[in-house]
Amino acid sequence: MNRISIKDLYREPDLFLNQTISVEGWVRTLRVSKNFGFIEINDGTFFNNLQIVFDENLNNFQEVAKLTLSSALHVEGTLVKSLGAKQLFELKASVIEIIGLSEPDYPLQKKRHSFEYLRTIAHLRPRTNTFSAVFRLRSTLAFAIHKFFQEKGFVYVHTPIITGSDCEGAGEMFRVSTLDYEQLPKNPQGQVDFGEDFFGKETNLTVSGQLAVETYSMAFKNVYTFGPTFRAENSNTARHAAEFWMIEPEMAFADLKDNMHLAEELLKYLIREMLENLPDEMAFFNSFIDKALSDRLVQVLNADFARITYTEAIQLLQKSGIKFEYPVAWGQDLHTEQERALTEQIFKKPVFVTDYPKEIKAFYMRLNDDGKTVAAMDLLVPGVGEIIGGSQREERLEILENRMSQLGLNHQDYWWYLDTRKYGGTPHAGFGLGFERAIMYLTGMTNIRDVISFPRTPKNAEF
């Protein structure tokens, strides 16, 4: 007998109509009358359920009538046109085998649950409509990102997770160690002796793969990383997680313009892929999560992103007449309220802001000829604010070393990074896209905890 996935049925129902097939899945809903009943099962291959119709001819009718939610079934029957309005077809069951009977205290009974509650059962929540849609989108989006870069010939680099260096000289880090806390080895000065640790020195979890991937761009020209990164910031907000995934492309022989071009192309590609490949999920998000979502995404797809300098942005904000909570002044970083004003009110489309004051940006960004600003770029999008941050990198060894000295960075720690400037350095540029931020942007989900399978946040590493 044909063992069919529910996805196959929805794709080409005509292939299977009036045929005997078998499916497997979990009970999502159950309605039973005296001598017949309906079960909706979901097999995880598709967003929608399959309706099963059964009646008292079933030899285990009594058992089936008492099925609990989320029980696992094997069903055989004939696919027929449905008389109901809700679906086009249904499966008239001749056999319903109960593979795994769910216990009656299944925590996802049929009622609306809050996202907060569902976080406490993160191992079960992908069985709900919302999280089924979120995590299928997460998977499809991850693949779309790889497709985008691979089609362009970018080489995927797995940069190290455990690192002996601190990329941006900023960001609180998690220490990685095998030392016994109850008996820490000490050096003669009485300090903890990291020479005894697994790697023979202090190591941390990476906050970014950028510096490592830059070295590979000097070999492969176009490269990207896509992996987990970590921040030990004690910020309990809806937008921060201690563990999240990041996409970081890097291009040699490229400047800030090439960088903006790539970022715009990537964002549009991802929107297009989601709308084309996950129409049911996107319709769900638009109906139940954020009613402005589709319009916003289609608008972005059709817009030419604006490009302004930071200095222009400050002037526009000052002249806008909009009241801000935080002061708008040259030299200050843009707050989210100001970023959103630029993209939502002033330009009404995505905006690249470039050439920020060097003091508020990282040491590796390329110094502009004015000596005051660096070739940085942030991409701001409606509904979110900053979604991508990048820059052209400082390829001139002397200027880079000066900047590091000003910031008190130890050149010795970056010997390999500096080597890329010594041996055939070229103009190069790249950016970072937080994967979870991208998912939130594409779904309308507002809490980062709801787009990560098992989120890690302060005081929380459950599961």
Positions 217 through 256 that interact with a copy of itself (CB under 8 A): 217-222, 227-228, 230, 232, 234, 242-243, 245, 252-253
Residues 134 and 449: their CA atoms lie apart, in Å, by 12
Residues 290 and 275: their CA atoms lie apart, in Å, by 15
Task: Give, as ranges, the residues between 8 and 67 that touch a copy of itself (CB under 8 A).
Answer: 24-27, 43-45
- SS3 category, 111: coil
Please give the backbone phi and psi of residue 206, each rounded to the nearest 5 degrees, phi first.
-60, 145
Those residues whose C-beta lies under 8 Å from the C-beta of residue 438, and which sit 6 or more positions away, are 141, 247, 270, 387
Residue 24 or 337 with smaller CB distance to a copy of itself: 24
Q: Quick one: which of 50, 65, 96, 136 contacts a copy of itself (CB under 8 A)?
A: 136
Q: Quick one: which of 39, 157, 282, 316 contacts a copy of itself (CB under 8 A)?
A: 157
- SS3 category, 249: strand
Q: Which stretch binds a copy of itself (CB under 8 A): 56-64, 163-171, 330-338, 357-365?
A: 163-171
Task: Give, as ranges, the residues between 367 and 396 that touch a copy of itself (CB under 8 A).
Answer: 395
Number of residues that bind a copy of itself (CB under 8 A): 108
**By CB under 8 A, residue 134 contacts a copy of itself:** no
Q: Quick one: which of 20, 94, 177, 320 contacts a copy of itself (CB under 8 A)?
A: 177
Task: Give, as ranges, the residues between 103 and 122 that touch a copy of itself (CB under 8 A).
Answer: 103, 106-107, 121-122
Q: Which stretch binds a copy of itself (CB under 8 A): 50-58, 138-146, 321-329, 334-342?
A: 138-146
The beta strands (E) that lie in 43-111 are given as: 50-55, 72-81, 89-100
Q: Quick one: which of 56, 166, 172, 312 contacts a copy of itself (CB under 8 A)?
A: 172
Instruction: Report the 10 Å Cβ neighbour count for 121.
Output: 14
Question: Kind of pairing, strands 243-252 and 428-434?
Answer: antiparallel
Residues 440 and 452: their CA atoms lie apart, in Å, by 10
**CA atoms in the 13 A half-sphere facing the CB of 440:** 23
Q: How far is the CB of 273 from a copy of itself (least distance, A)?
A: 12
Those residues whose C-beta lies under 8 Å from the C-beta of residue 459, and which sit 6 or more positions away, are none
Task: Give, as ranges, the residues between 86 and 105 that touch a copy of itself (CB under 8 A).
Answer: 99-103
Q: Quick one: which of 116, 168, 265, 419 contacts a copy of itself (CB under 8 A)?
A: 419
Tokens of 250: 């890097």
Q: Quick one: which of 163, 286, 354, 373 contacts a copy of itself (CB under 8 A)?
A: 163
Report the chain's C-alpha Rg in angstroms: 27
Tokens of 134: 């979120």
Q: Which stretch binds a copy of itself (CB under 8 A): 48-56, 299-307, 325-333, 413-421?
A: 413-421
Q: Quick one: which of 198, 288, 324, 330 contacts a copy of itself (CB under 8 A)?
A: 198
Q: Quick one: which of 161, 275, 289, 303 contacts a copy of itself (CB under 8 A)?
A: 161
Residue 103 or 325 with smaller CB distance to a copy of itself: 103
Task: Give, as ranges, the residues between 317 and 346 that touch a copy of itself (CB under 8 A).
Answer: none
Q: Which stretch binds a copy of itself (CB under 8 A): 161-169, 290-298, 336-344, 372-380?
A: 161-169
Q: One-letter amino acid identity for 272?
A: R
The beta strands (E) that lie in 57-142 are given as: 72-81, 89-100
**By CB under 8 A, residue 352 contacts a copy of itself:** no
Q: One-letter amino acid identity for 227?
A: G
- Longest alpha-carbon distance in the chain: 85
Residue 440 or 452 with smaller CB distance to a copy of itself: 452
Q: How far is the CB of 278 from a copy of itself (least distance, A)?
A: 12
Residues 281 and 196: their CA atoms lie apart, in Å, by 51
Q: Quick one: which of 17, 184, 322, 409 contacts a copy of itself (CB under 8 A)?
A: 184
Residue 5 or 87 with smaller CB distance to a copy of itself: 5
Instruction: Report the 10 Å Cβ neighbour count for 117.
Output: 12
Q: Specify the residue for token string 């970056």.
A: 414
